Structure 1
């Protein structure tokens, strides 16, 4: 096991560069995922579609994400996490460029699937690299705080879309998203070490996640992941569209998405700090309770912009705290040779919900559901996550995650 790889000044410096590089990849994930939400009305107008039918576009990248998480997580354990991070970062750069060049709905859908494939494949590998090159006593904190880069990217993506869309159109947003990963590829290639936990011929199969000792935890982790990521991602993807449906302007709706991500940055950093002193499963339950309650309130206050803005920050705090804590629990549940596989499958199962969710919300709206009903549905999903995460925390098979020891 490589828990000691980050000991000593030189190795501590190496760990720092690995964490920074992985955080930049996570930032780009957040940028791309949330830049498209505010652009949906403009994309629909150019392609001659109704905004309510664009759930498939939002869901397409999530299809790619779940396949990428399943596939490249296992390949990272088998062939090397650095190598797979290079491949997947290049893939989502190409997919984002293809998005910018899309002129028809089928091409746009394929482009979003390719983008999601790269983003989904990158996630388990950068999480596992940070988990490996960080000392064990700091691992839960490092993995959780890494997640802060995702809402930061989302905030920048939402702000960028709001500023660029009126003057340069939606294509320009994705050109920026395609160019940004290029220097990151050079950084990974030249600076990153290869994982020492790669087992090559001895890599654990997916069946290793279902040994008698860990089977119950895996099932509970997957259910929790499904509910948690559905809440986080679907809320972010549909928030601008729901607010515009409630009468908000495009820039104002994008600004609320930016506020949610701003709260998410703070929430992830705070929970990352506290994980060194507390209990991760309990933090996950508390975060999901707060997230569900706040999302329900958002649906009732779309006609009160100032109060909505305050609650949006709080909702972002809670949802991102839940996501970061869940990543820390996932990274600490499995042995080193199965870490990317375990994290990848947990992420992939979670993203099944983010495929179904955007389409389901779009269908609800098409059938006449109100904006309040859409928010209430998302809140209900979060509260189902509370039940699953509570059981996860009580599981006798759950590996210790107290005091940052993952």
Structure 2
């Protein structure tokens, strides 16, 4: 919804005063969010219990009160798995340690491939629709439908993930996006059909990115979660930068829109296979928050 509203506002501002008002609006909106986040957005329980700062106990009890849970008298101690060594500070070396290296590399590859496909679709679809024979207005309409489809795609992802394993839902989303991309350009001669396919692509391609954001935190323990997910998103942004550049080069080399969409479909299939290879331990011993809090509050563990 924010992406769609932002695009509408940006178009209105740019038509009246060029690009500068667009950047000014974005700067002001972001600045207004900073005090709201500092005031109202709490740290997660996992983070506070892991970092254990001097003010953590007060913040913890404030958050527990907001959740309707009893206060604790002291900071709970984490449950250390048998044979575990001392905790090391988070960092790149930590997420590339032997126990996490496989999932970390898969996370990087998954983010790179999915964001490569996502930014190709969002950046090039209007232009490639025109290349395939549609008018400029029709191409822009197809781009708008991609964003509108994303509103429903991410909401649908949340509903499905409440009933099925998120990893399996995400794999299905990547495969559905790939199939729709393969059908998209051949359907360009039928205006209504291509718009419907555009909306469906928006549903699934936006869900692919949202699903990765939701899935990858479960790969890491709370002490390295932000580091692991942050690096994954950063590697994904490299794919986002390369995607429109590669598409432009291939167009200059004589590739047709249909060939480009098939290439990105193959990239997303590979991304789905990467996601399918994630190893997620649902009984991670580092996930000690419920037991530790119950013990510290004097309740049953």
Normalising by the smaller structure, the TM-score range is: 0.7 to 0.9
Q: Is 2:267 the partner of 1:267?
A: no
Residue 100 (structure 2) aligns with: 214
Matched, 1:365 2:214: no
Q: Return the alpha-carbon distance in structure 2 between the equivalents of residues 283 and 162 of structure 1.
A: 34
Q: Is residue 2:118 matched to residue 1:232?
A: yes
Whether the aligned pair in 1 keeps the contact of 2:185 and 2:257 (CA below 8 Å) is: yes
2:81 aligned partner: none
Contact 1:246 1:302 in 2 (8 A): yes
Over 3 Å counting, the alpha-carbon distance change for 1:160 and 1:372 in structure 2 is: farther
Aligned with residue 320 of structure 1, among 206, 221, 229: 206
Q: Tell me by how many angstroms 1:384 deviates.
A: 1.3
d(CA) in 2 for partners of 1:312, 1:233: 14
Q: Work out whether residues 221 and 346 of structure 1, in 8 Å CA contact, stay in contact via their aligned partners in 2.
A: yes
Distance in 1, Cα, partners of 2:246 & 2:116:
11
Q: Secondary structure at the match of 2:148?
A: helix
Measure, in 2, the Cα distance between the counterparts of 1:370 and 1:331: 38
C-alpha distance in 2 between matches for 1:186 and 1:333: 31
Shift of 1:360: 0.5
Is the 8 Å Cα contact of residues 132 and 185 (structure 2) preserved in structure 1? no
Deviation at 1:166, TM superposition (A): 5.1
Label 1:157 to 1:192 Cα distance change in 2 as closer, same or farther (>3 A). Answer: closer
| Partner in structure 1 of residue 79 of structure 2 | none
Gaps of 5+ in 2: 54-86, 288-301
- Residue 185 of structure 1 and its aligned partner are, at CA, apart by 2.0
Counterpart CA distance in 1 for 2:117 and 2:161 is 22
Contact 1:239 1:253 in 2 (8 A): yes
- Name the counterpart of 2:164: 278
Counterpart check, 1:187 vs 2:73: no
Q: Deviations over 1:113-166 (max 9, x none)?
A: xxxxxxxxxxxxxxxxxxxxxxxxxxxxxxxxxxxxxxx222223444555555
Tell me the alpha carbon deviations over residues 232-254 of structure 1, each in whole angstroms, 9 at most, x when there is no partner.
12211222232344454544433
Q: CA deviation at 1:326?
A: 1.3
Shift of 1:282: 0.7
Q: How far apart, in 2, do the equivalents of 1:268 and 1:167 lie?
A: 32
Tell which structure's C-alpha radius of gyration is larger.
Answer: 2
Cα distance, 1:346–1:391 mapped onto 2, change above 3 Å: same
Q: 1:339 to 1:202 in 2, by over 3 A?
A: same
Establish whether residue 310 from structure 1 lines up as the match of residue 196 from structure 2: yes
What stretches of structure 1 of length at least 5 have no aligned partner?
A: 1-151
Q: TM-score, normalised by structure 1?
A: 0.55
> What corresponds to 2:282 in structure 1?
400
Cα gap change, 1:376 to 1:166, in 2 (>3 Å): farther
Alpha-carbon contact 2:109-2:274 (below 8 Å) kept:
yes
Cα offset, 1:390, TM superposition:
2.2
In the alignment, the residues of structure 2 paired with residue 301 and residue 253 of structure 1 have an alpha-carbon distance, to the nearest angstrom, of 13
More helix by share: 1
Tell me if 1:375 matches 2:261. Answer: yes
Q: SS at the partner of 1:213? A: helix
- For the structure 1 residues 167 and 234, does the alpha-carbon distance in structure 2 shift closer, same or farther, using more than 3 Å as the test? same
Work out the CA distance in 1 between the residues paired with 2:269 and 2:206: 15
Q: Which moved more, 1:329-338 or 1:191-200?
A: 191-200
TM-score (norm 2): 0.73
SS for the counterpart of 1:278 is coil
Please show how residues 3-402 of structure 1 align to structure 2 within 5 Å: 152-161=1-10, 168-194=17-43, 197=47, 199=51, 203-392=89-278, 395=279, 398-400=280-282
Q: State the Cα deviation string for residues 332-360 of structure 1 (Å, max 9, x = none).
A: 11111211101111111222211221110
